[in-house]
Structure 1
């Protein structure tokens, strides 16, 4: 598939984005032109210039189960990275800055599977980061461990839960057939990995103990749905902590600006005043 020829006025975001065009196909990139705090809004996905896409292509962004959009701007030149600097929050039509913030000259990237369930044009990632995932073809083809710690859009999380639920159902059916079930089709007890039994609450989890922070422990460690939910909780906690830190730093910055303004209003005596040239302290001979 040939690279897309821009049909919009360039630059489309001159205050925040610098586009670096390279001759080789799919090697252009974008750099930040401004400073942004963690989780600040980098840009809005406004309609227009965005438009709904009739079908997904390598240049569209998925914004729902069956919904895709055309960016129609230089935002198209934001590349993929397995350690992205941006978050495409398609549910709220925002592009957010990642937890590290942004400085001028830093490359603008986002994690493509955070929006794309199945990509029209898969590729081998060359981001070179320590956590590089290799082949990128969409969240559908990635294991939960590969998505751990990454921000994912709501439609991707829902599709992952459905995928993992289907796997869990198939696994449970296979285990039931192997271990035997009661006459009404239910197992009498859940069997843990070490061979002991534990009382089951009907969904494969041990009963909650008060307000246990871990929420629940899967009886079977291979329960993909449990792992996905635990990963979601851990990721949410990390994002809350990062956002809390960003908020503290923001208020500290405001406090510093206020102190500077107050200092500017408190004018001390000038050198001319101290030397007696102002204020009537100098005697004048008549």
Structure 2
């Protein structure tokens, strides 16, 4: 998703904990800790800019039939199967991001996409390089127990921990 440098600079300045810059591994843009962050610390807030009833490119699932496009910087957070950020629902229709561990200045801020996505429509190969990389991202539906064990229920989108409502039939 293309962004003008001015938008990236403004988003970076507006978030005291986050620098937006290009990654060294060719992933494009990423978010990096501007200062040392403590485990449990609120790092940044995502706000819903668009709401859809189905997945779309760059959307994040917030409920069974709700997918949102988040604003900067949230839309630029990259994935890792061993993330250092967790999510909490917020009043802006998206997620707040919190540190799952102490994070040193300059380290990339990473989130595990499967903690919010029930089923990833187009499974994709993961290249995060983490020792416990799952290789293919499919969604919470396929890896839920491992994700809860790794991150705890408080770092999983709440709707994923509830039973899916039955589809209405005509």
* TM-score in same-fold range (> 0.5): yes
* Aligned equivalent of 2:46: 45
CA distance in 2, matches of 1:139, 1:65: 12
* Aligned equivalent of 2:158: 154
CA distance in 1, matches of 2:12, 2:29: 16
Is 1:36 the counterpart of 2:34 in the alignment? no
* Aligned equivalent of 2:73: 74
Is 1:90 the counterpart of 2:89 in the alignment? yes
Which is greater in Rg?
1
- Secondary structure of residue in 1 paired with 2:63: coil
RMSD of equivalent CA atoms = 2.7
Distance of aligned partners of 1:19 and 1:97 in 2 relative to their CA distance in 1, 3 Å threshold: same
Report how many residues are paired: 154
Which is helix-richer, 1 or 2? 1
8 Å contact kept, 1:86–1:97: yes
CA distance in 2, matches of 1:106, 1:89: 21
Distance of aligned partners of 1:44 and 1:65 in 2 relative to their CA distance in 1, 3 Å threshold: same
TM-score, normalised by the number of residues in structure 2: 0.76
Distance of aligned partners of 1:55 and 1:101 in 2 relative to their CA distance in 1, 3 Å threshold: same
The alpha-carbon deviation at position 91 of structure 1 amounts to 5.4
8 Å contact kept, 1:91–1:153: no
- Deviations along 1:142-177, whole A, 9 cap, x unmatched? 263465222312111225xx6xxxxxxxxxxxxxxx
Match of 1:6 among 3, 24, 27: 3
Report which structure shows greater RCO (CA 8 Å, sep ≥6).
Answer: 2
The alpha-carbon deviation at position 120 of structure 1 amounts to 3.2
Is 1:134 the counterpart of 2:138 in the alignment? no
The alpha-carbon deviation at position 113 of structure 1 amounts to 0.7
